[in-house]
Structure 1
């Protein structure tokens, strides 16, 4: 790098930006491609159908105005029109709940509750208030609609239109304060001594008795004891209410200063706490409305509740402390006949998941399925937060759910009587977003059966069998079925073709479904002028024998400079070596610019990435910066041995998790990477949030070794190449403090071959094109200078 000094580059509005790239031989410029959607085009999103299935609604912005608007495509006229505000406001919400016969749909929109008649399309508002009502669900054997307002459940009678409050959660405790023994003696002595006091008490008691008689006609007051109330639901027959009482310990947050403000003063923002929080305590209750009794659900019989995690064996002198492993508990999922309910429970260390049958009458549960992962529960359709994809089969005797039992997330059913499971799908691929058809005869879901980087939409018989593809264009097919399921609205994209809206007849109902018809044209003229590359999807062998998927961009032979850049996607559990338009589309365009300049670019789905099953997903457990980093190093060696790359001309860059890997690469593999650009990076996992980090590394107190192995700040002494750090100062995800601490560490180590650019008005995801431009100009200049020796004048 040109200046072996530490400096902070503050980018403020009104200052000039670095737009010139003297060595750039691409027809693309960084300033151009960093305009984002204003350059690419504003793409359609958020698809939903009209109730009659004749219109597709979607968000779009073809005129590149301030924000997206709602548009409608008519199947009959084949025309697109912008929807006016009043029409949009009165449209039903795309999501809602149908009754069993699908004759009525209830939904919430703009804070109110509505019911829609499927036959007449008539919409009746259930509420019209300034309060926010939500989570509508049928009850009273589908003669009533229940919904939540604040903490309480209200029920609306469909026939009469009467609304009744069913619960009364309160912070006000009606019980009299208990007297001390001394005060109780004085109280009783006073009553014994004075007739007037005794007579007044008798009158007061009679009044209280009459008042209590009136109170019996009202909902039982349920004291919250300072805890939060969550997941309140009323049973289909209207007899019971289930709810969670959650005690949330107060965890110290992080103060984040804003330096560039409208007021001109520094303003502080309170943000998240750091990993290692005390776990929330969850307790499920059942309220019998008629009997006015409350029972706590007994979860003591959950299988494996006393499980001690395997990693604790590394700490034989440290006792494992987790007295109550119960974590998030989902609301009951009821069978269509309203007779049974299942509940999903996850442990607070994220390593166990239970699906249980809830027994309302005795507040007990019956174990149905228990999944345990030494690392952490997860995968498509399986949430370690709770709320996974699961439900009831049409016979009301089996449940369905997803499991990584075979190493990939697949569909299973379980018989309530025999407790036996059956796999409906199998193979080295994963199932996404399953749902049962209206007629209960088949499944619909997305799967990557053909290739990890190709997602198609399928149907399958309800009890398993052949997967029938309903889409056929290689890439990503996000399908939204029409209400009658006879048509498919498809958001389709390919590697070098951004997302567009297509429509196609459902082959299940039409033997002449034909090919999908494109509805939108969203890309800009400027975008279309460039011949965007279709990156190769390749595999290379890692040092442990694993086959690693990657995107590869190769320059033409006449411009190849024998330098390479490895891009590391963020999020950890995310996929980017695929055949659809990337969420990293700015980086995709930047890679095209790099290739025009002679660079070879490799974009790796390293260990921890999505799309490849459980073992790949958890390959980073207890050691982030282990196999996920060695996959980058092995990719670099692959470029050297197979593609003529100079081993001294390899750079690496990425944002968030990709920035973290960049730091680990620069510190722990200096012989591999000569330059690195670390964007919005984690420097110390002990400073990141609990929900993400504790899954992978446990907690700093319980598993300190994992944090020491995984945090770049402990390896900063290994820096040899040129490092560029870039970070938003109001990043409320990865705090700017993390990089400030790392900079102090580098200063104390006497390192001079690094620079930091900071962005005072940017959070984790940049929004200003000028910030994006400044950032990627610096990254381009870093690679030009450090890998090729081309010194920029900027």
Structure 2
């Protein structure tokens, strides 16, 4: 009873002082907030999935604070209390992801530990029956699917396609990919041909044996024992094999590895062996990349041929930057870096010769009746995405939709997983940024008629088709950029019905019968918990709100120690940018301001942090509470390129990282001075990864704005980062030199005035420690003295050890306390 009473008192205290706590019974320290979060905060539920009868919820959880999470379940028909799943039951459970159903959803097919299983989803008196094991082999079987007539199971083994007939268990090999080099065919010369004819003319036994051999080969090719066509891959990798619903065609991709691509190495100094060991890392942007082609194996015609890309509209279109001359330097800060004559993509201004761009073609998406196949094609420079109908018999492509972006195709609208056919087997749905925001569209693959189903200044982030294919379930941020809600909408568009009600983020896992929502929910000062509610519309009328379904909280994950502190609810604010745009931010206001301010710069580039849910930067969130307790005003913003605000915001950094993304932070700092009483000479900033990069650019190119900065695991030179991320934004270093020069902090290091702290893990295989080493040498040569580097020998890009977190944030706090 005493514990219950204490918990109620703590809960009341949290609610009463959520905005600006008047007093803190247990002061925050770096040691406290950076300790192992399992024991200090608690572990939120994750990886949620349902039983096939929709009566039991499963999820990973760790209320016992063990070394690793365990599987728990909640029976909806019982007391709805979490119970740990025993090993015997767990072994029989299907995987939460990667499963496929037959059309009636009575059978479920999945792979587990390299074998295939089939589950009968029809419940019995004793619940769902155990799964039926289809394979039990040393070799791995994967990518299971039902055949078009649902009488067979299709799967991959040893990089080839097989089928197993459910009625008989007969296994048939569909493809025969041979990795050994194909022997060159040699034709006999005149002498050899004459000698062979002469031998057959002379000897009856040779003629008889040849006739028998020829007849046997004819029977093998045309009879019931016909084997799949042998195909020599010639060193190329086979991927994405797929059998058409009518079992006539197999599509597959052949990937040719890049030649001459040098891989960076990351030395590991602290090892069990006592010797320095090299960690293989990645290539750098601009290195040669792999190429791929889509092939069609016509089983009936016994032919294998590639799909031609020549007919793709705009396949040879150059991007704008490659068709124009040098881009002028955007601002005077460039004078501290390379000369004003630094060139862009084309120093002559002449149009380059056009050639077909490399593309990647997706695995075909087939209609259920097997009559239509659609592929999604991406250009290697990521300026184009085509959705095209594929005729496998002729290997011809027909355009259905083209999305062109002179920056790069990206955002939620670039997803290929949210694409499929509706019930009519002719209408394809997909996401696109065509109108500037990620929205849902349909296109008729026969007539080409296209329709936009959602529109407005918000983003459709996830799409799921209902079992009967009459409705879409959507996750959007249309209520507010900082909220995520779950909706239902008819497949032909129209009004969206909001199903979730709680302010914050609602990550929904729908029950198989679609009657219940399992919601992983959080708010800005409340970590994720699991809730349950019936699928009913949210009440629009306040008078009816009392009758609306109320989410039931199923888990309580937080420790009493964590709940004892009155965690702030950051104020969501809007800040005017210099170009007229609106910046969203999270503001932590101290009870007793001291005139100091700190800006936090989130990482990842395309990520959102100014929102109403529990941040993935939870350590930073706690640190911001600590700073606010000390009188600091803290602000973190969704600068240009952050997620959730549409295409223009997403691509605002194209060809100039450290441009608008940096000026957004400068505008935010000036807003703090104008509206929050902050001293303009006592502002600092910090961030990790991309946030570390922005910190460097701020300290080097706008040295009078920030008095101190902490750059954590920062990119110092974008030419040293990976291809997949960097080439989208800055193109390639040898073809767009200007973009890299004006975007890389190492060229601007001479501008450093304030005090700089750099922290980096030495076994970082993402942003390599070499980045900091090169910048260190640059600062030494520039005779700079107001900087320091802290190295962490056992840490990768994301720190793991609590002692590393503690050391890093003690240094950050010391920097701000001493220099602001």
Q: TM-score, normalised by structure 2?
A: 0.89
Q: Which moved more, 1:773-782 or 1:513-522?
A: 513-522
1:364 — aligned with what? 396
Matched, 1:85 2:87: yes
Which residue, out of 595, 600, 603, partners 2:628?
Answer: 595
- For residue 578 of structure 1, give the secondary structure of its aligned residue in structure 2: coil
1:30 — aligned with what? 30
2:512 — aligned with what? 483
Which residue, out of 96, 111, 116, partners 2:114?
Answer: 111
Which residue, out of 133, 136, 148, partners 2:141?
Answer: 133
2:273 — aligned with what? 263
CA deviation string 1:375-420 (max 9, x = no partner): 000121414xxx3421112211211111111111000111223312
Q: Distance in 2 between matches of 1:146 and 1:152?
A: 11
**CA contact under 8 A between 1:326 and 1:345: conserved in structure 2?**
no
Which residue, out of 407, 425, 432, partners 2:436?
Answer: 407
Q: Distance in 1 between matches of 2:182 and 2:717?
A: 49
Matched, 1:715 2:744: no
Residues 702/319 of structure 1: CA separation in 2 closer, same or farther (3 Å cut): farther
1:659 — aligned with what? 692
1:336 — aligned with what? 368
1:16 — aligned with what? none
Q: Which moved more, 1:103-112 or 1:369-378?
A: 103-112
Q: Distance in 1 between matches of 2:27 and 2:307?
A: 66
**CA contact under 8 A between 1:106 and 1:137: conserved in structure 2?**
yes
Deviation at 1:209, TM superposition (A): 3.8
Deviation at 1:226, TM superposition (A): 1.0
**CA contact under 8 A between 2:498 and 2:537: conserved in structure 1?**
no
2:74 — aligned with what? 73
Report 1:197-596 matches (<5 A).
209=214, 212-213=217-218, 216=221, 217-250=226-259, 251-312=261-322, 313-314=324-325, 315=346, 317=348, 320=352, 323-383=355-415, 387-507=416-536, 514-557=549-592, 560-596=593-629
Q: Which moved more, 1:39-48 or 1:298-307?
A: 298-307
**CA contact under 8 A between 2:372 and 2:426: conserved in structure 1?**
no
Which residue, out of 657, 661, 668, partners 1:624?
Answer: 657
2:329 — aligned with what? none
Deviation at 1:566, TM superposition (A): 0.3
**CA contact under 8 A between 1:192 and 1:198: conserved in structure 2?**
no
**5+ unaligned residues in a row in structure 2: which ranges?**
1-23, 326-345
**CA contact under 8 A between 2:488 and 2:497: conserved in structure 1?**
yes
Deviation at 1:515, TM superposition (A): 0.8
Deviation at 1:508, TM superposition (A): 5.7
Residues 140/602 of structure 1: CA separation in 2 closer, same or farther (3 Å cut): closer
**CA contact under 8 A between 1:53 and 1:484: conserved in structure 2?**
yes
Between 1 and 2, higher relative CO (CA 8 Å, sep ≥ 6) is seen in 1
**CA contact under 8 A between 1:142 and 1:236: conserved in structure 2?**
no
Q: Distance in 2 between matches of 1:408 and 1:619?
A: 14
CA deviation string 1:250-287 (max 9, x = no partner): 31100111000000000111210000022322211111
Deviation at 1:135, TM superposition (A): 1.1
RMSD of Structure 2 on Structure 1 (CA) = 2.2
Which residue, out of 149, 152, 155, partners 1:144?
Answer: 152
Q: TM-score, normalised by structure 1?
A: 0.92
CA deviation string 1:611-645 (max 9, x = no partner): 00000000000000000000111111001111111
- For residue 412 of structure 2, give the secondary structure of its aligned residue in structure 1: coil
CA deviation string 1:84-122 (max 9, x = no partner): 122112102223112222222211122111222222544
Residues 239/29 of structure 1: CA separation in 2 closer, same or farther (3 Å cut): same
Deviation at 1:142, TM superposition (A): 1.5
Q: Distance in 1 between matches of 2:782 and 2:209?
A: 78
Q: Distance in 1 between matches of 2:199 and 2:219?
A: 31
**5+ unaligned residues in a row in structure 1: which ranges?**
1-23, 788-794
2:18 — aligned with what? none
**CA contact under 8 A between 2:60 and 2:72: conserved in structure 1?**
yes
Q: Distance in 1 between matches of 2:351 and 2:71?
A: 57
- For residue 592 of structure 1, give the secondary structure of its aligned residue in structure 2: helix
**CA contact under 8 A between 2:162 and 2:171: conserved in structure 1?**
yes
Matched, 1:645 2:669: no
**CA contact under 8 A between 1:486 and 1:509: conserved in structure 2?**
no
Which residue, out of 752, 762, 784, partners 1:729?
Answer: 762
Residues 427/195 of structure 1: CA separation in 2 closer, same or farther (3 Å cut): closer
Q: Distance in 1 between matches of 2:409 and 2:417?
A: 11
Deviation at 1:321, TM superposition (A): 6.8
1:40 — aligned with what? 41
Q: Distance in 1 between matches of 2:729 and 2:354?
A: 17
Deviation at 1:193, TM superposition (A): 8.8
Q: Which moved more, 1:680-689 or 1:328-337?
A: 328-337
Q: Which moved more, 1:504-513 or 1:82-91?
A: 504-513
- For residue 742 of structure 2, give the secondary structure of its aligned residue in structure 1: helix
**CA contact under 8 A between 1:44 and 1:501: conserved in structure 2?**
yes
Residues 720/288 of structure 1: CA separation in 2 closer, same or farther (3 Å cut): same
- For residue 663 of structure 2, give the secondary structure of its aligned residue in structure 1: helix
**CA contact under 8 A between 1:280 and 1:327: conserved in structure 2?**
no
**CA contact under 8 A between 1:505 and 1:513: conserved in structure 2?**
no
Deviation at 1:76, TM superposition (A): 0.9
**CA contact under 8 A between 2:26 and 2:565: conserved in structure 1?**
no
Q: Distance in 1 between matches of 2:93 and 2:237?
A: 33
Deviation at 1:359, TM superposition (A): 0.4
Deviation at 1:203, TM superposition (A): 8.2
Deviation at 1:38, TM superposition (A): 2.8
- How many residues are treated as equivalent by the alignment? 756
Q: Distance in 1 between matches of 2:171 and 2:373?
A: 26
- For residue 561 of structure 1, give the secondary structure of its aligned residue in structure 2: coil
- For residue 714 of structure 1, give the secondary structure of its aligned residue in structure 2: helix
Which residue, out of 667, 670, 674, partners 2:707?
Answer: 674
**CA contact under 8 A between 1:382 and 1:388: conserved in structure 2?**
no
Q: Which moved more, 1:111-120 or 1:605-614?
A: 111-120
2:19 — aligned with what? none
Q: Which moved more, 1:242-251 or 1:751-760?
A: 242-251
1:178 — aligned with what? 186
**CA contact under 8 A between 2:471 and 2:488: conserved in structure 1?**
yes
CA deviation string 1:220-246 (max 9, x = no partner): 111101111111100111111000111
**CA contact under 8 A between 1:460 and 1:468: conserved in structure 2?**
yes
Q: Which moved more, 1:520-529 or 1:120-129?
A: 120-129
Deviation at 1:210, TM superposition (A): 6.0
Residues 439/196 of structure 1: CA separation in 2 closer, same or farther (3 Å cut): closer
2:332 — aligned with what? none
Residues 321/752 of structure 1: CA separation in 2 closer, same or farther (3 Å cut): farther
Report 1:150-169 matches (<5 A).
150-169=158-177
Residues 509/754 of structure 1: CA separation in 2 closer, same or farther (3 Å cut): closer
Residues 750/504 of structure 1: CA separation in 2 closer, same or farther (3 Å cut): same
Residues 683/108 of structure 1: CA separation in 2 closer, same or farther (3 Å cut): same
Q: Distance in 1 between matches of 2:39 and 2:498?
A: 35
Q: Distance in 1 between matches of 2:799 and 2:215?
A: 64
1:609 — aligned with what? 642
Q: Distance in 1 between matches of 2:538 and 2:204?
A: 81
Q: Distance in 2 between matches of 1:782 and 1:205?
A: 88
- For residue 549 of structure 2, give the secondary structure of its aligned residue in structure 1: coil
1:21 — aligned with what? none
Deviation at 1:79, TM superposition (A): 2.0
